[in-house]
Structure 1
């Protein structure tokens, strides 16, 4: 058996995370796609917007391959009045199609970097601490795969809260079907209350 190419393996896992992120938006209204469901404002479209900037920076600027056009929401970050969380939510005048389209374009740009460079190709991440700012494509692939799947996990929870949809993709066989989840949740709640004793709310 031939050992799989490490770059192909990492790239495949990154792509799986990207696809999961976009699937989480399928079938949602504009409000649901943008709705903040945590105290820190976590929302599905904002997660995709955030990952767009990450892919552009790590697979573009890091290796001297910047995008031809700066992402619109990153142009004014040097201004004192700039919103530090501008990449984590979508303004009303930013369409879902625009944000998703930019994500797909940036991922294509990243894929070109991944295909054309070797895993040991050198790069520089200026905003990382100086002792690790010098990096490689291998490191960045691992970093972005972890980053994407971390946010895909956030998206899993947000989407489930919105309409109950779960899984990594449509028809995900790893998620058991049926109404057993209500019973399971009740069982977990009872165990938590029993363990907490008088401390349970």
Structure 2
């Protein structure tokens, strides 16, 4: 009994010293983020980059954290994480599966980013504007997405890493009435994760 008591006391002491830490990291695009941390006393909102809380004995306490401290403490772990997902949009000429010249040029960066990711998954979703009927736009949106997929496969992206979908005119970026020619709706969204 006396041998197990010190071990039990040690476990209690270690448990009492253990803590959890939450640090809100800045987003890569500069947009604000927010994390809500709850405990028995209520909730604490972290809404500034490097805002932090440490949980000890079931209570969250605010802590001061800076970028340099995060790098020292978590840098190796953060560098081991996969890259954050990114999205690109390429646009098309009216009624066709031909990319606009600016989108064709920007597509080079999309291919480069996909090639640099070690374990990539890509979702390619085609869209149309509301010119024409849904019966025409559904296949056209899919055709646009398949064109992008085929170009990525030609660049060496494994086909099994690509998912393709066509949404037709159902998810406009800019809502319009029927038969309105809106260039921002004639697009393919490429989500890379």
TM over 0.5: no
Query: Which has the higher relative contact order, 1 or 2, with Cα contacts under 8 A spaced 6 or more apart?
Result: 1
Taking structure 1 as the reference length, the TM-score comes to 0.22
Bigger fraction of residues in strand:
2
Taking structure 2 as the reference length, the TM-score comes to 0.23
